[in-house]
Structure 1
């Protein structure tokens, strides 16, 4: 990554960065954080991953997405250089370098950057972030980080530059030592330095009260539905204050929280019945999704469309989601070479005791099939953000 940045003239040296790391909740945290900084008068670049529909979605300034011409312009020198190299950069490294170069060219005041896999080997670790927000510590990418939460905590801490200010959203104190060990200039910990005082579901969102080192924010409407999204917004608020060195104006917080949208993250679409599209892709996220469904609908999903990627264990994921023998599960496959084979996924569903297991390889067709069976009951599409990205246009068309 350092070689690639050098080819592009080391744009990271011109660009102040806030890094958003952690196992789950990164994109929502990054989106809220960018809007809070914009509302505080800064010009902000936002880099998130993965995209739901087009790669350009990853690279935005305010409401402006990088264009085809701009992306080609910043990528051109890097692609040409990589063609001549013996060890070409990864696609994620190229996109990250392109984002940083474009943000620097556009003169943003700060870039909010979401990590990829995370860890010291992540492309974003080379950007020299001054503030790092860590959303949570769970088990994911076991083929790279290991099979325990401690392994993942050590890996996530590895992406933090020495001397950066750290905002830690993981509540489990047993996971904190790796983050303290990197030598942060400051360390804010959820539940101690910032946190959630009150959080309850309301129509179309949540009513939340939060505290930070600089202020309290009472009875703020957050236009996100799931309980874990309150924690994401709170981490974003603490990180914004850390960057600004002051409290975020109360009106800015209320305006940003009320306008926040997180596509593909507990996104509710009203088809013939309520259909929740959520990119949960590991056991911790599946358990959180299950809790969100029970809170919002007082029941679990009757129909689940699931497709997964990578080395994740479908049985662990499905058990955490809380599928029951009577749940209808439709197995599907996102359009990626990393998709879990659909036959193996169906076998895992049967192994956890589900009686009605169906296979529909095309995600859109699976969504249509699920919506047909809802009849007022709750349905879920989950397992991967790639699945969520393919499902959303179809689900939204059924609602129109």
Structure 2
């Protein structure tokens, strides 16, 4: 039998393919998911215990699979908030420009396969099974103990090579410097913003966290910063200078002077560049006024890529931003999921993200506000709760993951800050209860954690 610790499963010979067909029948897709979730440390479920502060396993996996990321171009996206939206926006623009685009993001909301897409289509169940089967065989000699995220990144790169993508937009999972995705040398790096999050792993100051995110800046590779800030601008500038990497602060060139919600679930922006109207009537199907920061980064990134020879014209930018959800399947960003009453889901979950969400709630018309909120236990819960509106009726809930903060404990913390309501630990039961009493002109918000939104959609 062919040695697999030195060869790529994509190029196996006919004999090996026969073996693969026989072995793949031994594990179903659901059994494969059970293996990924139960046997591999998973940060989304267990927290810091699953975090690996080394690229060791990633580099070994990359060598075993014969460096699949070298077969396609890539764009690397990091940041505290907005990196998921930006990744999907860029993928959509590139698709509209005619490229075959891979997209790797995390976490998923409902289906594991959401993490790995090609032109918006999720990875097939069979491809997931095949990759995990191949890893099992390889690991009998390699004896690795990878995390869930390390295996998923390796799977994504393997699949993008298999599908012969032109370019892949790769979202950082956590941090940047030591993230499993940080073995790529991209065409462009983009960092959205920095705020306090995952402080136990990344540092307890803005500058320390920025230094970890700046780890994706590579020698000679242009980097776009979506939102400049005196607290971290210098960190990025110094890192870019050390790497001889051109650096651009998007919000110092592009500003949104006007935005409005449009019928049909879109918002309309007018963007100025260096003081003059440049993109008039730029529409996006991603709602929330905070998207103006993300769009600015995408506009600057598109400009840089176009100057480098990528065929990205105005039509691709306009159409790509208008059809982000249609082209990429993105969900959970100020997503309106019900009307009369208006029901909105959003995955914002840290202090900066919640601040933006509260501002969006203030800009939304409603008669009575219901907030269905759950959080994970390793977040800065008190600081997040302190930002929430006092005039709402709260339902404190918890996602069905080990990291979830107990709903009663969350209610107790909230009560100390003057937030009143009730406890319903099951997310769907909490939503059902509020929808049974809410009136047509009310607003029902579901969020506080990505996993609360995921439970609602599941």
**2:171 aligned with 1:135, yes or no?**
no
Closer/same/farther in 2, CA of residues 334 and 85 from structure 1, 3 Å limit: farther
**2:335 aligned with 1:278, yes or no?**
no
**Equivalent position to 2:148, from 91, 105, 115:** 91
CA deviation map 1:292-314 (0-9, x unaligned) = 11123278x72111111241122
> What CA distance in whole angstroms lies between the structure 1 residues aligned with 2:216 and 2:351?
23
2:361 maps to what in 1? Answer: 293
**Equivalent position to 1:259, from 323, 341, 345:** 323
Note if contact 1:272-1:372 (Cα within 8 Å) is conserved in structure 2.
Answer: no
Structure 1: runs of 5+ lacking an equivalent: 394-400
CA deviation map 1:230-252 (0-9, x unaligned) = 22122123223323326832222
> What CA distance in whole angstroms lies between the structure 2 residues aligned with 1:83 and 1:56?
26
Larger deviation: 26-35 or 164-173? Answer: 164-173
> What CA distance in whole angstroms lies between the structure 1 residues aligned with 2:169 and 2:412?
41
> What CA distance in whole angstroms lies between the structure 2 residues aligned with 1:101 and 1:254?
31
Closer/same/farther in 2, CA of residues 337 and 255 from structure 1, 3 Å limit: same
Larger deviation: 265-274 or 281-290? Answer: 265-274
2:259 maps to what in 1? Answer: 199
Matches within 5 A, 1:314-353: 314-320=381-387, 322-324=388-390, 326-353=391-418
**2:90 aligned with 1:33, yes or no?**
yes
> What CA distance in whole angstroms lies between the structure 2 residues aligned with 1:271 and 1:40?
34
Count of residues in Structure 1 that have an aligned counterpart in Structure 2: 388
> What CA distance in whole angstroms lies between the structure 1 residues aligned with 2:337 and 2:187?
38
Matches within 5 A, 1:178-197: 178-182=235-239, 183-197=243-257
Closer/same/farther in 2, CA of residues 334 and 84 from structure 1, 3 Å limit: farther
**Equivalent position to 2:451, from 380, 386, 394:** 386
- Using the TM superposition, give the Cα deviation of residue 41 of structure 1 relative to its aligned residue in structure 2, in angstroms: 1.8
Matches within 5 A, 1:78-227: 78-82=135-139, 88-182=145-239, 183-203=243-263, 204-211=265-272, 216-227=278-289
2:305 maps to what in 1? Answer: 243
> What CA distance in whole angstroms lies between the structure 2 residues aligned with 1:130 and 1:249?
18
Secondary structure in 1 aligned to 2:364? helix
Structure 2: runs of 5+ lacking an equivalent: 1-57
Matches within 5 A, 1:334-373: 334-356=399-421, 358-373=422-437
Secondary structure in 2 aligned to 1:281? coil
- Using the TM superposition, give the Cα deviation of residue 129 of structure 1 relative to its aligned residue in structure 2, in angstroms: 2.3
**2:132 aligned with 1:67, yes or no?**
no
- Using the TM superposition, give the Cα deviation of residue 270 of structure 1 relative to its aligned residue in structure 2, in angstroms: 2.0
Closer/same/farther in 2, CA of residues 85 and 352 from structure 1, 3 Å limit: farther
Secondary structure in 2 aligned to 1:173? coil
TM-score with structure 2 setting the length: 0.80
Secondary structure in 1 aligned to 2:436? helix
Note if contact 2:109-2:451 (Cα within 8 Å) is conserved in structure 1.
Answer: yes
Note if contact 2:260-2:267 (Cα within 8 Å) is conserved in structure 1.
Answer: yes
2:369 maps to what in 1? Answer: 302
Secondary structure in 2 aligned to 1:126? coil
Mark the structure with the bigger radius of gyration.
2
- Using the TM superposition, give the Cα deviation of residue 83 of structure 1 relative to its aligned residue in structure 2, in angstroms: 5.7
Note if contact 2:93-2:319 (Cα within 8 Å) is conserved in structure 1.
Answer: no
> What CA distance in whole angstroms lies between the structure 2 residues aligned with 1:12 and 1:212?
34
Closer/same/farther in 2, CA of residues 269 and 172 from structure 1, 3 Å limit: same
- Using the TM superposition, give the Cα deviation of residue 197 of structure 1 relative to its aligned residue in structure 2, in angstroms: 4.2
Note if contact 2:94-2:320 (Cα within 8 Å) is conserved in structure 1.
Answer: no
TM-score with structure 1 setting the length: 0.90
Closer/same/farther in 2, CA of residues 217 and 146 from structure 1, 3 Å limit: same
> What CA distance in whole angstroms lies between the structure 2 residues aligned with 1:103 and 1:249?
25
Secondary structure in 2 aligned to 1:112? strand
